[in-house]
Structure 1
Amino acid sequence: MRKLVLTLVACLMTVSYANADLVGYWPLNDGAGSVAANMVEGGAAGEIYNAETGGPSDGSVWVQVEDFPYAGSKTVIGSGGQAPADTAFVRAGDISQMTLENDFTWAFWSNTSPDIAANPGRFSGIVGNRYKPGPGKQDYSPRQFIKFTPTAFEWHMNGNGNDNIGFGDDVLEKGVWYHQAVVKDGTSLTYYRDGVAMLTGEVTQALDEPMPLWLMGDDAGDATEQWQGLLAGVRIYDSALTADEIAAIPEPSSLALLSLGLLVILGRRRAK
């Protein structure tokens, strides 16, 4: 009994801490409309471009899938890989300037479409940014950006990708759901896949600018940036989560159900 109570407390403490430094959480399960709700009070909602026609099969971005990990049936958002002006993407506010001192955690579920072009699809932006806001490919000076692609987490500064964490063209199978996260603790980067630390890196160049946060592409009109696939549960923290906290993120609802189940068990035992 005592062990059961301690397990419940630990679960609830993990959820509480993991939400304490959450600055943006877009479940991307809205199911209709052109706004992606941000569950963090005061946080920027996501503005969805081409919401009715830029999704898979030239239809809505909202897709009901039956193979979502831990949940089975679930509503997610998707981009269909149309021409840059026609495909779906999301502007989800801004991120603060990335220095050598600040900490952060980015986490999300992604499923890259088997139909995505091998090149330039390998460079397309799932979460992050590439250009200055506004139409046209306007680089920051010096060139700098930070983004997840199907093949890497790119920390690009001074026109180079020396601080990137690359995981290869064929590591993430297309058409498969993966939970991905990167944690920045000072200058240290750790890349997680499905709750497991896979790769590490070191940041040697601070970025000069706060930047927009885009999901699935951007408004620059560059086909290279337009990702094709399904996305869910994007979370941005302003702290470096631990390995245990990362493992607790992928499906919060399952953790909540576990806690609820434990409470039910405790109640039944006390009633006997």
Structure 2
Amino acid sequence: MRTKLNFGTAYHPETDGQSERTIQTLEDMLRACAMDFGENWEKYLSLVEFLYNNSYHASIKMAPYEALYERKCRSPLYWDEVGERRMLGPEIIEITLQKIKIIRERLLAAQSRQKAYADSRRRDICFEPGEHVFLKVSPRKGIYQFGIKGKLKPKYIGPFEIIRLVGKSIYELALSPELAGIHNVFHVSSLRKYVADPNHVLKYEPLDIQPDLSYEKKPVKILDRKEKILREQTIPIVKVLWRNHQVEEATWETEESMKNEYQHLFR
């Protein structure tokens, strides 16, 4: 079939959230179909499916039908059940072509709307070789977080010098020796511009950065304790100060999970 496997990558609308965008497009198509054809809209679902699979998709640079069968669709129109092979008169062909035109217009409108949505969320940020940027790293995701408030925020380390532009919105950085095990090519969304200041003294906090740009959360001490009432039960929670984070970033965790994982904090 001469197919080629391409792994999905983050930060690109072609793969990131593709299912959600496709579902939204289908909803727009069905809504327009119901408005245009009234109570008999379900009769035209086969045409909607045909046009969707035979329309150009920017993400794959061709129609889904062409991607699957490696040729453009040139099948004749049949209004009857599968297996019936009788010639259609010019009148019903003309009606069908009119319906196809309406559905195609609605499909293009839905696809354009979703493209505009994706474009509105993009950031046109450019860096030049020789500039310095901060690199975003995030704490490892755990199962002990109690609620979303107080969640540990990503940190920025660096600054690091930009060596070159590798591809669209992709940059190669000159990382420090302690980060030698990390691939030094990053998407622009993981970078933040550093503005040089002679009076700026950078305080470097050593972190054990993993290849996926995450670091392990390590608690320093318990700052407070209280009980949270959920329906008919009371859950004790504790306020935890984490290493490499300020007091303002302390989070509330369940006391039970913290005791199981970090017993030394309660001695």
The TM-score bracket by the shorter chain reads under 0.3
TM-score between the two structures when normalised by the length of structure 2: 0.21
If asked which structure has higher relative contact order (CA below 8 Å, sep 6+), I would say 1
TM-score between the two structures when normalised by the length of structure 1: 0.21
Counting helix residues as a fraction of each chain, which structure ranks higher?
Answer: 2
Which of the two has higher C-alpha Rg? 2
